[in-house]
Amino acid sequence: MSALAASKLRPSHFDVRQNPHYGSVILLRALRAFAVETDADVADFKVASPGAQSIALQLSTCINQPLEATLCAPVEKPSRSKQEHLRRLVIGKQQWSKPLPDGAKRQGFQGWHERGYLPHCDKPGLVQFITFRLCDSMPVSRRGEWEHLLATSLRRNAPRSSALREQRIKLEEYLDRSLGKCFLRDPRIAALTESALRHHHGQSFQLLAWVIMPNHVHALIEVGQTPLSKIVQNWKSIVAVAANKLLGRTGRFWQPEYWDRFMRDEEQRRKAIRYIESNPVKAKLCRIPEDWPFSSARYRDPQTRELRLPQ
């Protein structure tokens, strides 16, 4: 059984009640196989079902090692720093995921990598949820406020992955307050941004959903043969030059970084589309998603929910 097959294990497959010590070791190995490949949250697992020994056999098969080797493999010590934790996390994901083909590497894809704060996966064919924001969307004058929100999510006794998810939710809620100058509220700039997003649709990527908010952009795309970093950089460069000219300003327009998360399955993809297109409603900018003038919602077929972009 491959690492991909191991990723099909579900929370209902685990039971550590019969032998807590023996089961804990096996559960650790099996959860690592599952979580690394699927980017899952270990906190979502509950003890249940067939028994630790069956999990040991499944796991030892999937990694092509005898049961004794699985049980006796050393458990790594906790990371000494966030950066070290991130480095080990990325190395683990690289080991368990399918290697990046040489052709993809030559095109600039990086596979599993880190950009200083979170692991990222950049491979051809992935469906990616992307957020990028204006340079003043989190104003320096309000930095203490949003840093407090982030710190609060990390002080609780929760796994790191849960804390990071809570951080992301809090940051998105903060963005929806439309702080900063909100240049994207200008219909000219919003239309320019939407045009940039759609320009290479069907070539470098498939655009599945998007929304232009007053101070940030969400997009869901299926990556083709162009690395995600190049796609986002192209969008941001085109818009920044043209928008600064329209506004009669100079200087930085976007924050240098962007957030990305790949979709593991169709359900997550549907949820991402719903989240993106409902964002203006959640932020109380319109009554229904279709009312927002700079979103994919207005192009979605009401019966099939397919995107019908004009030619």
CATH number of the domain at 256, please: 3.30.70.1290
Q: Say whether both 21 and 130 belong to one domain.
A: no
Amino acid identity at 119: P
Instruction: Quote the CA–CA distance of 69 and 84 in Å, as a whole number.
Output: 26
Q: How far apart are the first and last CA of the chain?
A: 45
pLDDT at 64: 45
**Domain-embedded: residue 109:** no
Q: Say whether both 295 and 192 belong to one domain.
A: yes
Q: Say whether both 51 and 191 belong to one domain.
A: no
**Domain-embedded: residue 288:** yes
**Domain-embedded: residue 80:** no
**Domain-embedded: residue 100:** no
**Domain-embedded: residue 200:** yes
pLDDT at 94: 78
- Taking only the tens place, the pLDDT of each residue in 94-112 is 777 788 888 898 989 988 8
**Domain-embedded: residue 14:** yes
Q: Say whether both 130 and 44 belong to one domain.
A: no
pLDDT at 296: 97
Q: Say whether both 10 and 132 belong to one domain.
A: no
Q: Which of 48, 72, 96 is the last residue of a domain?
A: 72
Q: Say whether both 130 and 198 belong to one domain.
A: yes
Entry pTM = 0.67
Q: Which of 57, 72, 87 is the last residue of a domain?
A: 72
Q: Say whether both 50 and 130 belong to one domain.
A: no
Q: Say whether both 228 and 130 belong to one domain.
A: yes
CA distances from 270 to 100, 274, 275 (A): 26, 6, 9
- Taking only the tens place, the pLDDT of each residue in 140-182 is 655 555 555 545 544 444 455 555 566 666 677 777 777 789 9
Amino acid identity at 152: T
pLDDT at 140: 60
pLDDT at 177: 74
**Domain-embedded: residue 134:** yes
Q: Which of 33, 56, 72 is the last residue of a domain?
A: 72
pLDDT at 84: 77
pLDDT at 245: 97
Q: Say whether both 68 and 203 belong to one domain.
A: no
- Taking only the tens place, the pLDDT of each residue in 220-241 is 999 999 999 999 999 999 999 9
Q: Which domain holds residue 66?
A: 3-72
Q: Say whether both 29 and 135 belong to one domain.
A: no
Closest to 306 measured CA to CA, from 268, 270, 262, 263: 270
Q: Say whether both 189 and 278 belong to one domain.
A: yes
**Domain-embedded: residue 77:** no
Is there a contact between 301 and 289 (Cβ–Cβ < 8 Å)?
no
Number of domains in the chain: 2
| CB burial of residue 93 (10 Å; 0-12, 13-18, 19+) | buried
Parts of the chain with a pLDDT under 70: 1-80, 82, 116-118, 139-170
